[in-house]
Amino acid sequence: MPMLSAYIHAPTIFSSTSNWVSGKRNLSRSSMAASSIRIAVVGDVHDCWNLEQDSKALEFLQGFLLSNPSNTKGDFGDENVEVVQSVANLEFAKAVILGNHDAWFTKQFSGSLGKEHVAYRRSDFPLIKVSIVGGRPFSSGGKPLFRKNLLSARYGVKDMDESAKRIQKAALGTPEDHFLILLAHNGPTGLGSGLNDICGKDWDFEGDGDHGDPVLVDLHLKMPIAKSDGDNANIAKMGFHLAHAISLLKENNQVSIPLVVFGHMHKELAYDNGFRKMIVVGTDNTIYLNGAIVPRVKRLGDEDKRNLDDESALSPPEAKGTTRAFTLVEISEGRVAKIAESWVSVVEDRTTLEEEHILFEGS
């Protein structure tokens, strides 16, 4: 999600190597360096989480969890403390970033997640040679600094510039042989302004349709994709006011970020306008991945396989079973080899891959 492990409104990322069974205990096991790992991204859980069924699905997928509760990438639910506690109890390695629907019970959420909440910090996983840097928590996209008072009180962040510097500081010192993932609740500005673009507004058709986060622009150590000279001008205007601390990374080429994982912008567009682009590959081969498949659970057995818009974190599994969405990222020899939207069916003790839609395959 990216739960590089986290199922919340924000993205969560879960991960495993190709040769060990998923579970927290395995990250302390002595093993050869991982040449192939799998990351399960869950973005924008929005209450669609069941510890027993999601644990079975992740065991089947054998993945490291990235979660954006609001998105995988955040948003566990509408301030749902029980869902966050359930995610924290999951026996998988994971990383979480809280989203804009996770801002009122921050103390309880942080207490449950501990260091698995990676806001403004880096989490290193030496055995699988992966590092995860967390972006700004509680982001709602666009130019405003959402929950400014909370960010100031909890993180000492008062504006976009300070936010960018905190992310930059977290990225510095990443082990050279680690695959680095930036986990944020919302994606960066500059990736398109159409309603079906990866961070495009699908609810408001006036003005600039780019709802990306300006803090992230320079953090990717490049200029994001621009469709026109006008787009480039807008990116520069929004991004470079952050810059001098971030530009040190860019100018000295200290850090490379091959994968940016986020959520918030749901795959299914408003007003029945179809579906969003969920992946973008930048000109420098940085991959931007949106994991916000909402809702992420469907009930099996019903003729219409209707979506579950709400699912108690602590309820018993549905008797007829469910299919559950994850975005799987496979990394081999330090490169992204494959990304797929995967739906796993869980019926009692039977777990199978129901659907797979390939989003990216490396050369």
Q: Is residue 5 part of a domain?
A: no
Element (H, E) at 234: helix 229-239
Lowest mean pLDDT among 130-144, 187-201, 274-288: 130-144
CA distance 241 to 216: 12
Lowest mean pLDDT among 24-38, 170-184, 299-313: 24-38
CA distance 71 to 78: 14
Closest CA to 127 of 15, 28, 262, 2: 28
Whether the per-residue pLDDT at 237 is higher than 50: the answer is: no
The predicted pLDDT at position 276 comes to: 97
Write the burial class of residue 269 (CB in 10 Å: 0-12 exposed, 13-18 middle, 19+ buried).
middle
Q: Is residue 34 part of a domain?
A: yes
Q: Is residue 227 part of a domain?
A: yes
Q: Select, from the ranges 68-72, 82-86, 306-310, 338-342, the one with the highest average predicted confidence (pLDDT).
A: 338-342
Q: Is residue 40 part of a domain?
A: yes
Q: Is residue 4 part of a domain?
A: no
CA distance 253 to 122: 18
Q: How many angstroms separate the Cα of 146 from the Cα of each of 46, 51, 285, 304, 342?
A: 19, 30, 30, 38, 32
Helix (H/G/I), strand (E/B), else coil: 263: coil
The predicted pLDDT at position 59 comes to: 92
Whether the per-residue pLDDT at 220 is higher than 70: the answer is: no
The predicted pLDDT at position 65 comes to: 65
Q: Select, from the ranges 103-107, 189-193, 261-265, 338-342, the one with the highest average predicted confidence (pLDDT).
A: 338-342
Residue 157 belongs to domain spanning? 12-361
Whether the per-residue pLDDT at 48 is higher than 60: the answer is: yes
Q: Is residue 357 part of a domain?
A: yes
CA distance 135 to 249: 16
Lowest mean pLDDT among 26-35, 166-175, 263-272: 26-35
Do 119 and 98 form a contact (C-beta atoms < 8 A)? Answer: yes
Closest CA to 291 of 8, 11, 27, 6: 11
Cis peptide before 137 (omega within 30 of 0): no
Beta-sheet strands, E only, within 160-286: 179-183, 259-262, 279-281
Lowest mean pLDDT among 3-7, 162-166, 299-303: 3-7
The predicted pLDDT at position 148 comes to: 87
Whether the per-residue pLDDT at 17 is higher than 60: the answer is: no
* Summary mean pLDDT of the chain: 75
Quote the tokens at residue 32.
Answer: 């050869």
Q: Is residue 2 part of a domain?
A: no
Element (H, E) at 202: none
> Which residues touch 111 (CB under 8 Å, ≥6 apart)?
none
Whether the per-residue pLDDT at 72 is higher than 80: the answer is: no
The CATH number of residue 113's host domain is 3.60.21
> What is the tally of structural domains in the chain?
1
Whether the per-residue pLDDT at 227 is higher than 80: the answer is: no
CA distance 269 to 275: 5
Residues 106-137 as b or e (16 or more Cβ within 10 Å = b): beebbebbeebbbbbbbbebebbbbbbbbbbb
Q: Is residue 7 part of a domain?
A: no
Do 119 and 106 form a contact (C-beta atoms < 8 A)? Answer: no
Closest CA to 81 of 72, 92, 69: 69
Whether the per-residue pLDDT at 318 is higher than 60: the answer is: no
The predicted pLDDT at position 255 comes to: 80
User: Whole-model pTM?
Assistant: 0.80
